[in-house]
Chain A
């Protein structure tokens, strides 16, 4: 305990100078990064997974613990996969709009309850209404990682075969839904024409 500690490093001058350069380099790197991201819509994050199928096994159902949900539960219809959680404020803002499009536009929405607690999530649906055809209970975030989820809310458009066609990061509302709606209706039309 009585050992004295010298704070100043024993590094030679040039090493020290190099270290002092580090904050500057980091700051300029950060600046370049921010420069690139200005003007790009933060809601539109391209996904590597577009064109790829969602996993075969989705996870347990939120409302029915015994049931294990699978890709086949999409039952051959295009759908939105909506990532939500009770800890996510934006999800609460988005929720009424999901109910609206599920009801009025007959959009099939599948919920992914992400990093959440079951009783709270069930309570949420009971209170605020349930726009989801079914909800996957993704407590560990495994499905989220498979899909490349970056946060909640986030929505994926999946076609009848379970292939991811589009991705939207952030809230769905009057402003953001129309872009996705177009693609959704196209998928519906594809199914109908077959």
Chain B
């Protein structure tokens, strides 16, 4: 009964989504206020129906309803309860449902916070989101219904959730990632609304910026969680593999980053307008492409969903309709939003233009590197080879250049800035960065290392230029006390996010160059020294988990002769699917991780163990947290922007960002 209710709710949600896509636009065309404002209850209704459907699927999991095909494939009566909640999005059908649920939540948020936008705009934006929702709901219902049942014969037991997914990181990774992917639909909807309108003004950019910042923050968190999960769950100690699916999430991130910066120019200087619109469309299109790549099986990936060509075609059709349709609209209408303005070569505009160019180059590198197998046919030749070395070789220098530029960009002003003044501001940060960068590898490892020096210099550069700019801005105010407050949350958010990227860069350089990895055979009481720690293997224990049995190694970690920690890596054997999984044991720290994984059992109670010493690896994700937090702060600081200002004031230019 409950699955049928869920199914019905899903059908009703589709009906409401179609109404949301049509009614407000019809209201706009015929100037009927009643129909225009109908967008709000329709958005709310759609959201409620989807939440109901989602709840129905969750209840089916909790009650072990093995008459539902999706539950049988992804759950088991012995699966621990928290994983029954996350198993809902453990596979294609449910994660698609989660995707639409999140879209409906963003739609409700736009509806609630956007009530003071011009009525035409409200109606257009919500209608565009309704269109996206209709497409994906139709996709769910026609090809991937999660409520399909085995009737009259239910299965007795389920196949269990993939053990790789039975994990905390993977519980929250998909929702965060989808919040980001789908969040970009708001910027997309605003872009389409602007194209319908044929007008992009500063007010438009003001509205879009906080939404984009929020979506970007969530995507950053989602990607970081995925990387963290790969680090501790796959057991290889790697945190980024340039796998097609990872790249699929990196692409909208790069394009979204460009969008955030180009929006700043559109708002402050009313420039780059049609470019901003294109970026908004591109970012959401790349999110859709990512969703498509994971589910269509066109690329080989370690973690692609099980695939079915019929779904692939449907999904691609949806993609072509959405992306193609919006780009046709763009081709027809974007010529009306040309911008014409003048700025000096030494200005923030130039820096942000360079930022956009570098990010687009980085995006092109990732795009080509990921999709090249598809281009091979067209190019005719096969003399191309791509892999991690390709990405590292091309991507890393671009990012280093971007970070270097970023320090200048923070300090330079809009329109123009005398070069002497900029030099004056940047001289000290530059000296600090060079000094610290050269000293750092010597201090840490006693020898020079160019990459580490560069990353260290870039972090100090970002910190110092941020401080320089902050100091400069405070000095300019009359009252220094209140000046700190006046700068606003968005400004601090911007600084934090930029510093975050420096932390990530340093983490990457440190862990890439100073990691120690030892793999050895250990019999009970064997000792080994890795990275200044002593590891003693005390043998193994057998343990029974709720849905697995496990062999757990006991490894003592000693520093200077005293026991710091006992690490207990496991080798688990999951009962339902008979899979064997390795659970890594990690002693995490700000300065280093100690990472122990079990290999194969060898003769006479001895085991193959893999021990890693990973310096600064946490900084990679710490940086991402800072970026996401900074984005949240920036969005929070701009929340009042949903209230349109009087016309005279929209022309006023703010002092910052």
Is A33 positioned at the interface, with any CB of B under 8 Å from its CB?
yes
The winner among A3, A93, A145, A150 for most chain B CB atoms within 10 A is A150
Nearest residue, chain B, Cβ from A92: B236
By CB atoms of chain A within 10 A, which of B292, B330, B419 has the most? B330
Contact stretch, chosen from A39-47, A56-64, A66-74, A186-194: A39-47
**Chain A hits for B292, CB < 8 A:** 34
A141 in complex: contacting residue of B278, B382, B385, CB < 8 Å: B385
Tell me the complex Cα distance, A53–B192, Å. Answer: 55
Apart from A13-B335, A23-B331, A89-B234, what 4 extra A-B contacts exist at CB < 8 Å? A3-B344, A45-B382, A85-B387, A89-B243
Does A20 sit within 8 A of B, measured CB to CB? yes
Counting chain A residues whose Cβ lies within 8 A of the other chain, the interface size class is: 35 or more
Cβ of B343: which chain A residues have Cβ within 8 Å of it?
4-5, 7
Q: Complex: how many Å from CA A127 to CA B300?
A: 27
Cβ A23 vs Cβ B327 within 8 A: yes
Q: Is A8 an interface residue (CB 8 A)?
A: yes
Q: Which residues of chain B have C-beta atoms less than 8 A from A40's C-beta?
A: 298
Within 8 A of B (CB), among A71-129: 85, 87-90, 92-93, 114-115, 123, 127
Q: A2 CA to B344 CA in the complex, in Å?
A: 6
Q: From residue B334, how far is it (CB to closest CB) to chain A in Å?
A: 5
Whole-angstrom distance between the alpha carbons of A115 and B389 in the complex?
Answer: 7
Interface residues of B in 374-394 (CB under 8 A from A): 374-378, 382-389
Q: A4-B342, A148-B383, A150-B385 in contact; A33/B309 too (CB < 8 A)?
A: no
Query: Could you write out 18 A-B pairs with CB less than 8 Å apart?
Result: A1-B345, A1-B346, A4-B343, A6-B341, A20-B331, A24-B327, A27-B323, A27-B327, A31-B316, A31-B319, A34-B296, A35-B316, A45-B373, A48-B382, A89-B234, A144-B385, A148-B383, A150-B382
- Whether the pair A38, B387 counts as a contact (CB closer than 8 A) is no
Contacts of A148 in B (CB 8 A): 382-383
Shortest Cβ distance from B391 into A: residue: A87
With A and B bound together, what is the CA distance between A8 and B297 in angstroms? 42
The answer for the CA separation of A27 and B238 in the assembled complex, in Å, is 34
Chain B CB within 8 A of A175 CB:
no
Please give, as numbers and ranges, the residues of chain A lying within 8 Å of B387 by CB-CB distance: 85, 87-88, 114-115, 151-152
CA distance A153 to B340 in the complex (A): 51
CB contacts (< 8 Å) of B419 on chain A: these are: 1
Check: B274 CB closer than 8 A to any chain A CB: yes
Give the residue name and chain of the B residue nearest to A32 (CB): B320
A16: interface (CB < 8 Å): yes
A162 at the interface (CB under 8 A from B): no
Given A16-B335, A21-B331, A37-B374, the answer on whether A42 and B299 have CB atoms closer than 8 Å is yes
Count B interface residues, CB 8 Å. Answer: 64
Q: How far is B388's CA from A114's CA once the two chains are assembled, in angstroms?
A: 11
B577 CB to closest chain A CB, in angstroms? 14
Q: Smallest CB-CB separation from A36: which chain B residue?
A: B377
A105 nearest CB across to chain B (Å) = 20
Residues of A near any B CB (own CB < 8 A): 1-8, 13, 16-17, 20-21, 23-24, 27-28, 31, 33-40, 42-43, 45, 47-49, 85, 87-90, 92-93, 114-115, 123, 127, 141, 144-145, 148-152, 169-171
A23 touches B385 (CB 8 A): no
Q: How far is the CA of A40 from the CA of B350 in the complex (A)?
A: 45
Q: Is the CB of A33 within 8 A of B340?
A: no
Chain A contacts for B320, CB-based, 8 A: 27-28, 31
- Check B519 for interface membership: any CB of A closer than 8 A: yes
Give the distance to chain B from A5, nearest Cβ to Cβ, in Å.
6
CB <8 Å contact, A170 and B300: yes
Cα distance A149–B320 in the bound complex, in angstroms: 31
**A90 and B230 alpha carbons, distance in the complex (Å):** 13
Name the contact of B374 in the complex, choosing from A20, A33, A123 (C-beta under 8 A).
A33
Chain B residues, CB < 8 A from A89: 234, 236, 238, 241, 243, 302
Is residue B313 contacting chain A, with contact meaning CB distance below 8 A? yes
Q: B345 and A23: CB pair below 8 A?
A: no
Instruction: Report A173 CB to chain B, min CB distance, Å.
Output: 12
Chain B residues within 8 Å of A28, by CB: 320, 324
Q: Which of B326-366 contact A (CB under 8 A)?
A: 327-328, 330-331, 334-335, 338-346, 349-350
Q: A47 touching B382 by the CB < 8 A rule?
A: yes
> A8: which B residues are within 8 A, CB to CB?
338-341
B458 to chain A: which residues have CB within 8 Å?
Answer: none
> Shortest CB–CB separation between residue B377 and chain A, in angstroms?
8
Assembly CA distance A154 to B342 (angstroms): 53
B 123-156 to A, binary, CB cutoff 8 A, 1 in contact else 0 = 0000000000000000000000000000000000
In this assembly, does B77 line the interface, its C-beta being within 8 Å of a C-beta of chain A?
no
User: B289-324 CB contact bits vs A (8 Å, 1 = yes)?
Assistant: 000100011111010000001001100100110011
Residue among B274, B281, B383 with the most chain A CB within 10 A? B383
